[in-house]
Structure 1
Amino acid sequence: MNKLLAASAILASNLAFAGDKVVVYNWSEYIDESVVEQFTEETGIEVEYATFDSNEVMYSKLKLQQGKGYDIVVPSTYYVSKMSREGLLQPIDKSKLSNFGNLNVDLLNKDYDKGNQYSVPYFWGSTAISYDADSIEAGTITSWKDLWNQQWEGKLLLTDDVREVFHMALRINGHSGNTRNPEEIKQAYETLKSLIPNVLVFNSEAPREPFLSGDVSVGMNWNGEVYMAQQEGANLEYVYPTEGAVFWVDSLVIPKGAENVDNAHKFINFLLKADVARANAEYVGYATPNQAAIPLLSDEVRNNPAVFPSQEDINNGEFHHDIGDEASQLMNEYWQKLKTGM
């Protein structure tokens, strides 16, 4: 994690107006720190910046604090609907977002937030398979099923995300990653039990790190992590599995108990500027939903299939939806059994 963005770090100018701030709770390594500094320089608003490494951690903290403590949070797709349904979010005032029109309309008005009442797309991306191209021959891995090969015993990385891991098993078994069917979820659990001997680590803080250190050579990964690993010199390849990748949108939301609502809107609008969105996208390596930023991107980012998948790969995958409390609870129960070896 960048030192400037360590949990609870404050990135601010000494010239900022006293008490004028915005408190942001975001994923690790998910913003260009120069963008944060630029916002403070332009507005005089201090940015208090804390990070999390899973939706579950973020949600639990917001739930415990009853939506208080932060002005902006960045949940993934299905958590937007879950949090809005539970009264943890407040509506976005789009009249304060002069740059909202920069967004790709194809990523707006989705089922998890019709009309974007509560959310503004920040990044979108995928979870698929990455492998070390120096040690694994191209074409060896094309499917989620390939991760079950005994040659990967004790060598595999999975993201520490219940929905993503269950998505993989559900798709292998011919089901939707958004199923609510208890029998299909149970079947996925049984399928995953046979994979556990291959798993070395669950990692959602920085999945690229075990690849860079040589601890693992294949596993689930986020496309942006692969991009960053490539920037750091790794010969890491990214594969959209034949059964379909996971697709998601991470969005900017304002918690119900936010204390600096006007500043939150200012920060969101700032992030929607084309040049700012470009800087962020080139820093983190995820696809920007900002249509105005696309022409500004370097060819290396814009033409990288790990960052921007083909329409065919998108159509073959699924965006996660809210599956409801009952199915989520069942999946989480099986998840805990998997991770404790039961």
Structure 2
Amino acid sequence: MRRLCVFTILAILSLATMAFAQGELNLWTWEGYAPDELVAQFEAETGIKVNITYYSNNLELISKLRAAKGRGVDLVQPSVTLIPQAMDYDLYQPFDLSKLENLGNVYPSMLEDSKQLGAEIDGEIYGIPFSWGTEGIMYNTEKVTDPIDSFGAVFDEKYAGRITYRATLHSFISAGLYLGLGNRMRDIYVDEATARPILDKILAFLIEKKKLVKTYWTSRQENIDLFVQEAVWVGQGWDGTGWYLAQEGHPVKFIAPKEGALTWLDVFSLPQGSENIDNAYKWIDFTLRPEVAGKISDLGGFASAVEKSVDYISPERSALIKESFPKEAVENLWWYGIETTWWTNMMNEYIEKLKVAQ
């Protein structure tokens, strides 16, 4: 009888453990999108172990997914404009929206806009809005005394050796906007014949200005370190990075340049080889709770796609956002276009030419 009781107790404990321990979630994402504090909260609430891998850009994500054939990862967070390119290789599967209880918390306009930017293909949804933000100008307010309002600051010889930006398509676009090229740079998305003469001019300009650059940053943390160590005074970077540095007490300010801050929308997508799909849906729903979304915004530094998340961000963050984005700056945002395979191959060619140029 005693042995039977022991077996009964063990069976109950085993069932309880099984009910709580829900396996794992393999998440590939950007730095700042899965703060340790909230990962710990999710794991405590669900019993799901979250394994995080970071990537530094969208093309790296696509490359890794192709190499892994979509296996070993359950959830990723691409920029919405890269979904059509990823689907050239059939990397994602559509969402079952009925499994997302908190989808209604997303800004309705952002949900609709995301469809036009690449999230919807043949009537199926491949991207759920998570975060949006911009790339503009960051500068050290103690080292830079002249007013700054333009992307031109990162090409100004007075800051030679104290400048940073990325050797990526983003710098080509900001340089083109500064130079006033290509119908506010929309023409580079039309076709190669239209884009190449514009990009040739920008490449020549960036090569000429290369001597002014301290280094090309490749990750959020690297950009942070460059400003914290005061190795650079002026740079192109993400709004969330600038706001994070300001909240940490560093003399850094982010501004939306007059040419228009470069604007992106990042989403959740399900890889074809996802093995823990239910856990992926649970993580998405968790992050779409307003109080969680607000906390992610505060800790990571990026604006949330969840409408009521603004009720949960700190007063300090709210003040920084308002300072960086007065009404005229919001009305002047520059949205990235859909990045098709031919477009990315063309841009990679120009980026490599910039990197190897002496």
Q: TM-score, normalised by structure 1?
A: 0.89
User: Does residue 1:49 correspond to 2:56, yes or no?
Assistant: no
Corresponding residue of 1:216: 232
Q: TM-score, normalised by structure 2?
A: 0.85
Residue of structure 1 aligned with 2:158, choices 151, 154, 162? 151
TM-aligned CA distance change 1:116 to 1:240, over 3 Å: farther
Corresponding residue of 2:207: 193
CA distance in structure 1 between the aligned counterparts of 2:318 and 2:159, rounded to whole angstroms: 33
Corresponding residue of 2:218: 204
Corresponding residue of 2:34: 31
2:309 partner letter: A
> Secondary structure of the residue that 2:303 maps to in structure 1?
coil
Q: CA deviation at 1:155?
A: 1.8
Report 1:173-322 matches (<5 A).
Answer: 173-174=179-180, 175=182, 176-178=184-186, 179-180=188-189, 181-205=195-219, 206=221, 207-305=223-321, 309-322=325-338
2:200 partner letter: K
**Does the 8 Å contact 2:173/2:185 carry over to 1?**
yes
Q: CA deviation at 1:311?
A: 4.1
Moved more, 218-227 or 30-39: 30-39
Report 1:84-123 matches (<5 A).
Answer: 84-109=87-112, 110=114, 111=116, 112-114=118-120, 117-123=125-131
CA distance in structure 2 between the aligned counterparts of 1:48 and 1:185, rounded to whole angstroms: 40
> Secondary structure of the residue that 2:142 maps to in structure 1?
coil
List gaps (5 residues or longer) in structure 1: 1-14
CA distance in structure 1 between the aligned counterparts of 2:324 and 2:160, rounded to whole angstroms: 31
Residue of structure 2 aligned with 1:326, choices 339, 342, 351? 342
**Does the 8 Å contact 1:125/1:307 carry over to 2?**
no
Structure with higher Rg: it is 2
User: Does residue 1:169 correspond to 2:172, yes or no?
Assistant: no
List gaps (5 residues or longer) in structure 2: 1-16, 190-194
2:37 partner letter: S
Corresponding residue of 1:132: 140
Q: CA deviation at 1:321?
A: 1.8
**Does the 8 Å contact 1:166/1:177 carry over to 2?**
no
**Does the 8 Å contact 2:295/2:312 carry over to 1?**
no
**Does the 8 Å contact 1:223/1:307 carry over to 2?**
no
TM-aligned CA distance change 1:323 to 1:147, over 3 Å: same
Corresponding residue of 2:4: none
* 4+ runs deviating over 6 angstroms: none
How much is the aligned-residue C-alpha RMSD, in angstroms?
2.0
2:130 partner letter: Y
TM-aligned CA distance change 1:312 to 1:67, over 3 Å: farther
2:166 partner letter: T
2:41 partner letter: Q
**Does the 8 Å contact 1:226/1:236 carry over to 2?**
yes
Task: Give the length in aligned residue pairs.
Answer: 326
TM-aligned CA distance change 1:308 to 1:124, over 3 Å: farther
**Does the 8 Å contact 2:133/2:263 carry over to 1?**
yes
CA distance in structure 1 between the aligned counterparts of 2:205 and 2:154, rounded to whole angstroms: 12
1:238 partner letter: F
CA distance in structure 1 between the aligned counterparts of 2:58 and 2:253, rounded to whole angstroms: 26
CA distance in structure 2 between the aligned counterparts of 1:282 and 1:307, rounded to whole angstroms: 16
TM-aligned CA distance change 1:282 to 1:19, over 3 Å: closer
User: Does residue 1:21 correspond to 2:24, yes or no?
Assistant: yes
CA distance in structure 2 between the aligned counterparts of 1:173 and 1:138, rounded to whole angstroms: 21
CA distance in structure 2 between the aligned counterparts of 1:239 and 1:34, rounded to whole angstroms: 29
Q: CA deviation at 1:246?
A: 0.5
2:94 partner letter: P
2:142 partner letter: D
1:190 partner letter: A
Deviations 1:99-149 (A, max 9, x none): 10111122112322237701111111110001100011151x211123222
Q: CA deviation at 1:243?
A: 1.2
What fraction of aligned residue pairs are identical, expressed as a percent? 27
CA distance in structure 2 between the aligned counterparts of 1:305 and 1:44, rounded to whole angstroms: 35
